[in-house]
Each structure stands twice: as structure tokens, then as C-alpha cells.
């Protein structure tokens, strides 16, 4: 399973029952958390996310609606006597800020906390089955988007067939890599007759907060699912630009230019109570768009 569960789809201030930005990315072996607005730990409870499986947290930038919930979540991990390591990737000053607060409360973490300051674009996490990389966006302060890419997996051997050909198990690794096999008797076994291709690796990109920026297109080209912020309806394009945010149609234009499969939009301005209005506008430019709704898991 590879999916994104939206915990917050609102911008700036909580409103209309909507929360600030936070998303859980479910991969085969880990839960990742992208951004952590205030109340994220409560949303995690609300949507029955297994918080003990969150081992990597990525913070895009230091506007409060993207990180004010981090200190509370990490403190709760300590109160719950978490043991396994936690990795946080974010702007460098975040580390000192958290350490200060732990010191003031005399909190002693029950688990190793590894802080990885984000200093440049590129790969942040190289896990066995996926990578997470980051790219810069254009926002009022330094901000980065994140991309999760599944790695190419090995072909699956149909064991009964491989055994019927008496292929030595020492050659299985070659089979998994897609190679044909020449048996001792000289007979060739075409790989595709005894293996099944691995599922195509999929990818998810999260733009965090950003101006309309065509440079993002290169970064997110061809991803299966793109989450692009769409803080304002398109009529407010000047306001969006002044605040370093995007409109519905700008988000959709990035999706179109990047040739992604599907677009999710979110980070809705608190001034608007109905996300479907945003969805309708974006669909005019990129039909396969959905407004991100809290509590919903979108498959990548």
C-alpha cells in the first residue's frame, strides 16, 4: 500500500473544522509524516493512525501552520515511552528550538532523536524500498517540497516453474534481475516465461507552500500523485502572488505541464468554507483533480 492520508487541508489558521497542514504517507514499511501543524497529534488519534509506526518526519518550512504541532507530538512520544529512533528532517533552526523546549520542561527523551537539517535539494532518506528527496519552492521564507519514490523492485520468480526447469537456486538472483538463463544442457530459458515483473514503482510529490513556479515542473515530472497547494481561487491571483501562494488554476497548470497522473489540491484559505469550489476550478485546467479532504487516504 502506498497512500497519503490528509490530516490537515487548511492554510494559516484553523477554520470550518479544517486543520493546518499534515499528511501521513503510508509506504510498505514505514509511515512518513509531511509537515505537522498544530493539533496533528490529535488528528492522528482521530484517524487512528498508528503513531508508533511514524519513524520519519519532514518539515517543509517554519511557518507555524506547518510545524507548531511537532513539539507536542514528539513530547507525547516521550511520555508514551517510545523506544525506536525518530528522524526529523527540516530547516536547521528547528533543532535548537525543540532542544530549548525539552530543556525548559526538563523532558528527557526515551528514544534517540536524530535531527537532519535540510541544507540543500536532493535525497534526504534512502530506505530499502523508497527514497525521499526534496526540492526548493518559492515562498516567503525558505521552503521545500518532498518527493517519495518507490524503488524498482525485483521480478518475482514463479518458483514451481523454475524448479521444473531444474534451475539452480544460485541463479535466482539473475532471474530476479530479469536475465535469461542458459542451462547446462545449452537450453535457453527466457526470463519472462518464469518470472513476473515487479509492480511499476510509483511516486508522490508534495509541493508544500509555493508561488506558481514553473521550475517545480521539472522536479515533479511524471509523478503518479501530486499534491500542490491551492490557497486561493483563481480570481485572487494577485493576492496569491503577494503572499507567495498559488491559485487553483496555477496548481492545475503545474500538474498539466508535469504530466502527472493525478492532482490533489489543498492548503485552502480559511476565508472559504467549501473545498469543492476549488476542485471545480482546478478541473477546468487539469480534469483529474481532487480537493484533499481530511481523514481521506488517497492511493498513489
Active-site positions? 65
Q: What is the number of residues in the chain?
A: 300
Q: Does 13 bind its own copies (CB under 8 A)?
A: yes
Determine which residue in the list 69, 90, 145, 275 makes contact with its own copies, applying CB under 8 A. Answer: 69
Other beta carbons within 10 angstroms of residue 1's beta carbon come to 8
Q: At residue 266, what are phi and psi to the nearest 5 degrees?
A: -165, -160
Mask 261-280, x = binds its own copies (CB under 8 A)? --------------------
Q: What is the 3-state secondary structure (H, E, C) of 196-235?
A: ECCCCCCEEEECCCCCCCCHHHHHHCCCCEEEEECCECHH
Determine which residue in the list 45, 173, 235, 299 makes contact with its own copies, applying CB under 8 A. Answer: 45
Q: Does 76 bind its own copies (CB under 8 A)?
A: yes
Other beta carbons within 10 angstroms of residue 93's beta carbon come to 10
With respect to its own copies, which residue has the nearer C-beta, 3 or 14? 14
Q: Which stretch binds its own copies (CB under 8 A): 57-65, 127-135, 153-161, 228-236?
A: 57-65
Determine which residue in the list 2, 6, 63, 209 makes contact with its own copies, applying CB under 8 A. Answer: 63
Which residues make Cβ contacts (< 8 Å) with residue 268, sequence separation at least 6? 9, 10, 11, 18, 230, 231, 275, 278, 291
Q: Which stretch binds its own copies (CB under 8 A): 98-106, 192-200, 202-210, 218-226?
A: 98-106
Q: Does 80 bind its own copies (CB under 8 A)?
A: yes
How far, CA to CA in Å, does 162 sit from each of 154, 159, 173, 190?
A: 16, 5, 12, 11
3-state secondary structure of 182: strand
Which residues make Cβ contacts (< 8 Å) with residue 74, sequence separation at least 6? 86, 88, 98, 109, 113
Distance CA 215, CA 221 (A): 10
Distance CA 225, CA 239 (A): 27
Q: Does 83 bind its own copies (CB under 8 A)?
A: no
Report the nearest approach of its own copies to the CB of residue 107 (Å): 8
Determine which residue in the list 28, 84, 100, 297 makes contact with its own copies, applying CB under 8 A. Answer: 100
Distance CA 125, CA 116 (A): 10
Q: Which stretch binds its own copies (CB under 8 A): 66-74, 130-138, 167-175, 194-202?
A: 66-74
Determine which residue in the list 3, 47, 72, 131 makes contact with its own copies, applying CB under 8 A. Answer: 72
Residues in region 102-161 near its own copies by CB under 8 A: 104-107, 140-141
Q: Which stretch binds its own copies (CB under 8 A): 40-48, 114-122, 181-189, 278-286?
A: 40-48
CA-nearest of 199, 216, 220 to 262 is 220
Q: Does 295 bind its own copies (CB under 8 A)?
A: no
Q: What is the DSSP letter of 152?
A: P
Binding residues vs its own copies (CB under 8 A): 12-15, 19, 38-39, 41-42, 45, 62-64, 68-69, 71-72, 75-76, 79-80, 91, 93, 97, 100-101, 104-107, 140-141
Amino acid at each position: 500500500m502506498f497512500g497519503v492520508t490528509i490530516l490537515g487541508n487548511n492554510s494559516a489558521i484553523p477554520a470550518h473544522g479544517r486543520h493546518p497542514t499534515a499528511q501521513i504517507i503510508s509506504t510498505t514499511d514505514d509511515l512518513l509524516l509531511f509537515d505537522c501543524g498544530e493539533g496533528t497529534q490529535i488528528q492522528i488519534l482521530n484517524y487512528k493512525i498508528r503513531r508508533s509506526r511514524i519513524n520519519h518526519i519532514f518539515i517543509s518550512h517554519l511557518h507555524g501552520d506547518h510545524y507548531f504541532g511537532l513539539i507536542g507530538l514528539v513530547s507525547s512520544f516521550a511520555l508514551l515511552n517510545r523506544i525506536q529512533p525518530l528522524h526529523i528532517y527540516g530547516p536547521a533552526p528547528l533543532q535548537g528550538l525543540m532542544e530549548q523546549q525539552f530543556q525548559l520542561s526538563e523532558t528527557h527523551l526515551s528514544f534517540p532523536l536524530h535531527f537532519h537539517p535540510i541544507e540543500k535539494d536532493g535525497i534526504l532518506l534512502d530506505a530499502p524500498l523508497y527514497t525521499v528527496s526534496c526540492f526548493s519552492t518559492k515562498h516567503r521564507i525558505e521552503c521545500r517540497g518532498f518527493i517519495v519514490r518507490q524503488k524498482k523492485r525485483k521480478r518475482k520468480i514463479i518458483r514451481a516453474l523454475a524448479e521444473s526447469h531444474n534451475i539452480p537456486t544460485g541463479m535466482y538472483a539473475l532471474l530476479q534481475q530479469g536475465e535469461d538463463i542458459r542451462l547446462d544442457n545449452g537450453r535457453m530459458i527466457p526470463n519472462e516465461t518464469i518470472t513476473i515483473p515487479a509492480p511499476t514503482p510509483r511516486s508522490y510529490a508534495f509541493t508544500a507552500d509555493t508561488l506558481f513556479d514553473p521550475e517545480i515542473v521539472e522536479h515533479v515530472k511524471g509523478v503518479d500523485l501530486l499534491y500542490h497547494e491551492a490557497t486561493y481561487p483563481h480570481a485572487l491571483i494577485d493576492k496569491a502572488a503577494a503572499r507567495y501562494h498559488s491559485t487553483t488554476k496555477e496548481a492545475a497548470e503545474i500538474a498539466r505541464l508535469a504530466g502527472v497522473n493525478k492532482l490533489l489540491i489543498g492548503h485552502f484559505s480559511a476565508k472559504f468554507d467549501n473545498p469543492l469550489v476549488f476542485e471545480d476550478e482546478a478541473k477546468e485546467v487539469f480534469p483529474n483533480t481532487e480537493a484533499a479532504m481530511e481523514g481521506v487516504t488517497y492511493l498513489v
